[in-house]
Structure 1
Amino acid sequence: MKLIQIITVFTLLTCCGRINTKTEQESTNRKKEEAETSKLNLTDTTITFMWRDMKYDSTLKETFSSIFLNTDYINTMTNQEKAAIGYVSTFIGNECWWDGEANEDRSNLDCKIITALGLGYQCSEKHLGYLRKWFSGDKEVLSELQKSNCPTIPYTATSQNTFDKIVIDTKGDSISVYYEVDGTNVREQESWEWSETAYFIATTDNLKLIQKVKSDVDQEKFEITDE
């Protein structure tokens, strides 16, 4: 009888030890995650980064729909937020135009958002190199950021996409970028629009794209008339 009691007590102590060890490990992991998050220096915010409004062009003496950027936010944004917006802005037009005459290798395309983020010309090594650094652990994004995949499309192109709005949301170690896009193909007399949200997880020195959620694309035809 005493032997059975000893075995029972030993079994209970062993189980309790395992539970305590597991609980301690979970607590340690949780504290580690909280410590890593605190090092991120990210502030929970929802910011409208880019929007459109009408702007008068004194040279052309016409009023056009133009891109406006939240410069106050740009001056205070973290590298993780900068990389998230830089990534989505790489593949959508944002008032891109040549700095002077276009180079033969198309290496002097000035895009409003990429330039405002301090990343130089569209598809330059400064631009792509910065994003590759921050997405160094994301193989799929790195494959997208190859020079051969980077578009150099000026705003006068026959077929193009452009942003209508960008909103960035930061919470803990999560960053999401919501954007609205419209596009046109003048030759085919077609237009389209859609919205998309890109979700990222941030660490102190890296960013990973988790998923993109895209709406249906709304397409329609239009006619060009001579006035």
Structure 2
Amino acid sequence: MARLNSFYFPAEDWPSLVGDTVLFKGNEARHMLTVLRTETGQTVRLFDGEGCEGLFLVKEIDNKRALLEALQINELQRPETGVTLAIGWGKSKRRNYLFEKAVELRASGIAFWDARRSQGKIPDQPKDTWREKCLQAAKQCGNPYIPELITLGDISELVAFAQSFDHCYIAWESEKATTPLAPVHMRSGKCLVVIGPEGGMEDKEAGLLLDTGFEPVTLGDSILRWETAAAYCLSLSWFARQESK
């Protein structure tokens, strides 16, 4: 059976019961009807990015809108375990790659923090384009969730943010970091992994994290770009998730 086409549908408009109908409109509906040429009688998958997903029958089509009937609705709980990456901000065209892999490998969250060596001004709030990139990736891979997107200030805000996590690690390019980050570190609880910006974090920043209980880990001998380091950490988390099934 061919994979069904998936479309984003906002949580506030989500139907309550099987058999309910919803009016599907906007950019997602236009894409469904004009690009993919979906017809009445076909079944599509909708999701809200927050754990709700369902199968819907296309009942009626009117211009660039469609009336959909809920055939199946699933409300999924976010896993209690998962990894959030806190990445030092920098000017980069590679953030879209990060968002894509974060969704595919089911990260719990992505936080950007303002390191001493960060380049450019970190936004006060996550950008809408970041969320859109995550939603596009979720449509492709079938993940019912998108990661929580967060922007933080300096190292002190990062320390405060870390208080809600069960395990906190700092990926550090230092001789003091001798323990390789491994799937076993991410098998239980909420995990936070801090990655520095291009050029790495300063020793003072790393020292503050260590003083507040972060465990230093290494990602290996190679000097990794930040997005490579992020993908590596996400892959380890994904491996841990698969092992625990």
Tell me, yes or no, whether TM beats 0.5: no
Structure-1-length-normalised TM-score: 0.27
Structure-2-length-normalised TM-score: 0.25
Rg bigger for which structure?
1
Q: Which has the higher strand share?
A: 1
